[in-house]
Amino acid sequence: MQTDNYRTIETISEGIYKEKGSKFIAYAFPVTCEEDIKTEIDKLKKEYYDARHHCYAYILGADKKDFRANDDGEPSSTAGKPILGQILSSDLTNILIVVVRYFGGTKLGVSGLIHAYKTAAFDAISNAEIIEKTVNDIYDIHFDYLVMNDVMRIIKEEEPLQIDQDFNLTCKITLSIRQSEVEKIIERFNKIDSIKLDHIRTE
């Protein structure tokens, strides 16, 4: 059953882990698309240009179907997968975690690396404010002044989030409606004459 709510983080958070001179600096970012992810990784690569590795994992979407783990030169599955594992075990999405590694001169081995990346990612998540969000459909509602009262009554009773309104020759209101409520609310609007509904996007 598809859900219309999910857990994510409110703002950027940080974590750190040190082992045998190596330093693992973790950053967790709230993200909504791959463009956000690329931007944050590029910024960290510029800031920590002298670090040996910038390993990361992310999950996008309420269904968590869009995800990736990247080892950035570390032995296969020793960095990206442990980071991804922490995101999954915390039941989070729309999140990117990047762990920047400064090599301390002593190799940690496969199990040591997995532990280091896992612990750094866990620390970043522990320091984050976790919030619950809903998946919402954004609609433009176009209507005539004559039915204004009918439209506003539905909005008052159903309480969708009103994003914008434009009352000129005709009226337009932009609403954000939780997906599980969409069918019921749209059905009510469709009973009003002269109304036109446009689905703009899902967010």
CATH number at 175 reads: 3.30.70.1150
My answer on whether 107 and 168 are in the same domain is no
**Domain end among 108, 132, 156:** 132
My answer on whether 124 and 37 are in the same domain is yes
Structurally, the chain folds into a number of domains equal to: 2
My answer on whether 175 and 86 are in the same domain is no
**Domain end among 99, 132, 165:** 132
Label residue 92 left, alpha or beta by phi (over 0 means left) and psi (-120 to 50 means alpha). Answer: beta
With H, G, I as helix, E, B as strand and everything else as coil, classify residue 32. Answer: coil
Dist CA 67 CA 17 (whole Å): 24
**Domain end among 71, 101, 132:** 132
Tokens in use for 179?
Answer: 């997906």
pLDDT in tens, 112-159: 999 999 999 999 999 999 999 999 999 999 999 999 999 999 999 999
DSSP string, 86-135: HHHHTT--SEEEEEEEE--SS--HHHHHHHHHHHHHHHHHHTS-EEEEE-
My answer on whether 121 and 172 are in the same domain is no
Given a cut of 50, whether residue 92 has pLDDT beyond it is: yes
Average pLDDT over residues 90-103: 97
My answer on whether 98 and 28 are in the same domain is yes
Q: Could you tell me which residues come within 8 angstroms of residue 91 by beta carbon, excluding any fewer than 6 positions away?
A: 7
What letter does residue 160 receive in the DSSP assignment?
P
My answer on whether 66 and 89 are in the same domain is yes
Model pLDDT, residue 52: 93
Does this model's pTM top 0.75? My answer is yes
pLDDT, mean over the chain:
95
With H, G, I as helix, E, B as strand and everything else as coil, classify residue 47. Answer: helix
Range of the domain at 187: 135-202
Dist CA 171 CA 194 (whole Å): 11
- The CATH number linked to 90 is 3.30.230.30
My answer on whether 68 and 139 are in the same domain is no
pLDDT in tens, 22-80: 999 999 999 999 999 999 999 999 999 999 999 999 999 988 999 999 999 999 999 99
Dist CA 115 CA 112 (whole Å): 5
Burial class (CB within 10 angstroms; exposed 0-12, middle 13-18, buried 19+) of 76: exposed
